[in-house]
A and B are shown apart, each in its own frame.
Chain A
Amino acid sequence: MQRFLTTATGRSPGDHVCWWFRGLEEYAQTAREYIREGLDSRQLVAFTKVTPTGLEHTIVSDVAQVGRPADHGRLVLNDSQVPARRMSPTSAPSEFDRMTRAAVADGYTGLRVLTDVNDLVRTPDGLRQWIRTEHLIDRYAVDHPLTILCGYDVDDVGEQTVAEAARVHPLTRGALSPFLVRAADTRGGLALVGEVDRASAANLWGALMAIGPEIPSRVTLDMSEVEFIDHSSLMAVDRAAHSLDVTVTLVGAKGLTEWLVHTLGLRHVRTDPA
């Protein structure tokens, strides 16, 4: 599966995309294409703005609602009179669940969301909070008709922040990170995608620690989409597992990866006995 994207369209239910952009004009153009595709697919389309103090949605029923950038660089929808719900950013997964169920009950094929989280992730605390939320959204989208495009203004929040967020998405615009950690199932199982070596091992550790509170004590890590992983990266997984007091079982790993796990004598990473 192609996980590094060049276009925001071609999306289907379950897709969760990290989409970086430079300047609101560019994001507005992407938004129009993404929204048009959702409306054509009879999805309920919502623009969600997440700030440190709240989460608010605007239902979008017409591409013409997407206006030019204004208000100090924020993406503004022309029709902003739709009542918004204000709640904590960490409530996003349950809020998207409520909206998805309501959309399906109303005859839509699902919910398609476009987000602006730049105000929240500008601070380290906000970023940490949101990355954990991103993972829960990802887990929810595994088996629900939710399609979500998370917009990150790289000029605003910086490449490092965008890369940290990208690592917990299953789909990203371009290769923002050489690896991705995505939700593999609704029970907390994870999947690793791409390649990890010594240069990125610390980032893998960071990604696992960031979503750590959501990782179950016995977690599987699907390795079937891993193109390359070295011993330092496996040790990074082992260190994270130790810190989080969890046991990681690798499934679908290549023979060399399994051999590395056994040869290194890792204590918190195992291979699937099957």
Chain B
Amino acid sequence: MTTTTRPEERFRHELVLHTGTDALVDLMTPFVQDGAAAGDEILVVGEPEFVDHLLAAVPGVDGIQAIPERSRERFPGRDLHRFQQSLARLDATASSVRVVNQMPTMTEHQWHEWRRYEAAANYVLAPYRVWGTCAYDTDVLDETMLEDLSASHAQLHTPAGTRSSERFADLDDHIAGYLDLPPHPIEATTPHLSLHEPSVHAARRAVQALAAALGLTDEAIQAAMLAVTETVTNGTRHGRGPVEVKAWTEGGQLTVSVTDAGSGPHPLVGLRPVPLDSPSGRGMWILHQLLSDLNHRRHRDGYTVRFSVGGAAPVIPRPVR
């Protein structure tokens, strides 16, 4: 059983199931209006069209903090940290905040990280007086995904009403298997680079050379160097040897996997911030702030962390100030 001590729970985590943007606006309009009437701060996140639509539906509500953002620009680690920062700015330990979060569209592989995000939110946002709604379109959810979401949310909100989620009490048990995943298809192909028990320096140099040969931007090369440094360091320090590094170049992207024979980290690895004075644990959190494609997998031979860099989007986000 995976146990994670939660601080005093002030965070109300609610799953909203809807059937499209219009239906979601209808569902969320009274939520926003009631919150405003109660003096709560309101935070709205989602696709620009949805945000505009919802704001237009509540013309009498002033001061809504709106964060319109495309799905492709969002990824779990950075998203969760940004929420935390927004809530801190809104002083959400003292005053109440209502959040409308239209969840991004996601692929099956991305889902594995987003479900970790949903579980981690219960711990990361627990200190805040927040009523947070996570809105999913039922058209894109299958049974397994619904089961995961039921376990990570305390309440379920549908057009039929709001009810408690019985599975939420089993969250710790439920997340225990979150890293037990099948390999990514690329792992079945022949890698362009394969290193057995490399030093951190050697792994960094090899990945740097491969990224440069691929023509990645300097930012992407730096990100790949940081990621392989952190993951090989973790494998050496916290895992069990041998540490194996593999890399693939496909479609202008560099994908790197680092495997050790250990049992792997906590299922929510990298999603919970670590205090500055903590001696370790920050490296993976940093990578989850930086990389949109970073995945963890536990398997019979050990534990593999896999990440990709490259593509058109800039790697390094605006500094968090």
Nearest Cβ on chain A to B229's Cβ, whole angstroms = 5
Q: B286 touching A256 by the CB < 8 A rule?
A: no
User: Does B109 reach chain A (CB closer than 8 Å)?
Assistant: no
- How many chain A residues touch the partner (CB < 8 A)? 23
On chain B, the residues within 8 Å of A266 by CB distance are 276
User: Do B229 and A230 touch (CB < 8 A)?
Assistant: yes
User: A254 to B222, Cβ gap below 8 A?
Assistant: yes
The reply to whether B222 and A263 form a contact with Cβ atoms under 8 Å apart is no
Closest chain-B Cβ to A52's Cβ sits at a distance in Å of 37
B200 at the A/B interface (Cβ < 8 Å)?
A: yes
The main secondary structure of chain B at its interface with chain A is helix
- Min CB distance B159 to A, Å, is 40
- CB <8 Å contact, A235 and B200: no
Against B, the Cβ 8 Å flags (1 = close, 0 = not) of A24-61 are 00000000000000000000000000000000000000
Please give, as numbers and ranges, the residues of chain A lying within 8 Å of B200 by CB-CB distance: 197-199
Q: Is the CB of B276 within 8 A of A264?
A: yes
The answer on a CB contact under 8 Å between B282 and A228 is: no
Q: Which of A197, A254, A266 counts the most chain B CB atoms within 10 A?
A: A197
How many B residues touch the partner, as a band? 20 to 34
Whole-angstrom distance between the alpha carbons of A199 and B204 in the complex?
13
Given contacts A197-B200, A255-B316, A262-B320, contact A231 B222 (CB under 8 A): no
Q: How far is the CA of A271 from the CA of B320 in the complex (A)?
A: 12
Q: Is the CB of A231 within 8 A of B233?
A: no
The answer for the CA separation of A197 and B230 in the assembled complex, in Å, is 9
Q: A260 — which chain B residues lie within 8 A by C-beta?
A: 286
Is B226's CB under 8 angstroms from A230's CB?
A: yes
Contact yes or no, A231 B276, CB < 8 A: no
Within 8 A of A (CB), among B214-266: 218-219, 222-223, 225-226, 229-230, 233, 237
Query: Which residues, 46 to 76 on B, are CB-close (under 8 Å) to A?
Result: none
Q: How far is the CA of A178 from the CA of B229 in the complex (A)?
A: 15
Check B276–A198 contact: CB distance below 8 A: no
Question: Is the C-beta of B289 less than 8 angstroms from some C-beta in chain A?
Answer: yes
Which of B218, B222, B282, B315 is the most central at the interface, judged by chain A CB atoms within 10 Å of its CB? B222
Tell me the smallest distance from the CB of B163 to a CB of chain A, in Å.
39
Q: Which residues of B contact A265 (CB under 8 A)?
A: 276
Residues on A with beta carbons closer than 8 Å to the beta carbon of B286: 231, 260, 263-264
Task: Give the residues from 190 to 222 in chain B that come closer than 8 angstroms, CB to CB, to chain A.
Answer: 200-201, 204, 218-219, 222
Instruction: Please determine whether B230 and A230 come into contact, CB atoms closer than 8 angstroms.
Output: yes
List of A residues within 8 angstroms of B315 by Cβ: 256
Tell me, rounded to whole Å, the shortest Cβ–Cβ distance linking A195 to chain B: 8
Contact A232 B283 (CB under 8 A): yes
B319 at the interface (CB under 8 A from A): yes
Other-chain residue from B223, B226, B282, B316 in contact with A264 (beta carbon distance below 8 A): B282
Residues of chain A within 8 A of B319, CB atoms compared: 258-259, 262-263, 271
Cβ of B205 to closest chain A Cβ, rounded Å: 10
What A residues does B276 contact at CB under 8 A? 235, 264-267
Given contacts A262-B319, A262-B321, A265-B276, contact A228 B225 (CB under 8 A): yes
Say whether B229 contacts A197, CB under 8 Å. yes
CB-defined contacts of A258 to chain B, threshold 8 Å: 319
Residue from A197, A254, A256, A271 in contact with B233 in the complex, judged by beta carbons closer than 8 Å: A197
B222 and A256 contacting across the interface, CB-CB below 8 Å: yes
Given contacts A178-B201, A197-B200, A256-B226, contact A231 B283 (CB under 8 A): yes
Tell me, rounded to whole Å, the shortest Cβ–Cβ distance linking B216 to chain A: 13
* Residue of A178, A235, A264, A266 with most chain B CB atoms under a 10 A cut-off: A264
Inter-chain contacts of B317 with A (CB < 8 A): 259
Q: Which residues of the partner chain A approach B225 to less than 8 Å between Cβ atoms? A: 228
Chain A residue contacts of B204, Cβ below 8 A: 197, 228
Provide the bound-state CA to CA distance between A266 and B319, in Å.
Answer: 13
- Residues in B with CB closer than 8 Å to A264 are 276, 282, 286
Which 5 interchain pairs have the tightest Cβ spacing?
Answer: A262-B319, A256-B222, A255-B316, A259-B316, A262-B320
Q: List 13 A-B contacts (CB under 8 A).
A: A178-B201, A198-B229, A199-B200, A228-B222, A230-B283, A231-B283, A232-B283, A235-B276, A255-B222, A259-B317, A259-B320, A263-B289, A264-B276
Kindly list 10 other residue pairs between chains A and B, CB separation below 8 angstroms, not including A231-B282, A256-B222, A262-B320.
A197-B201, A197-B204, A199-B233, A231-B230, A235-B282, A254-B218, A255-B219, A255-B222, A256-B226, A266-B276
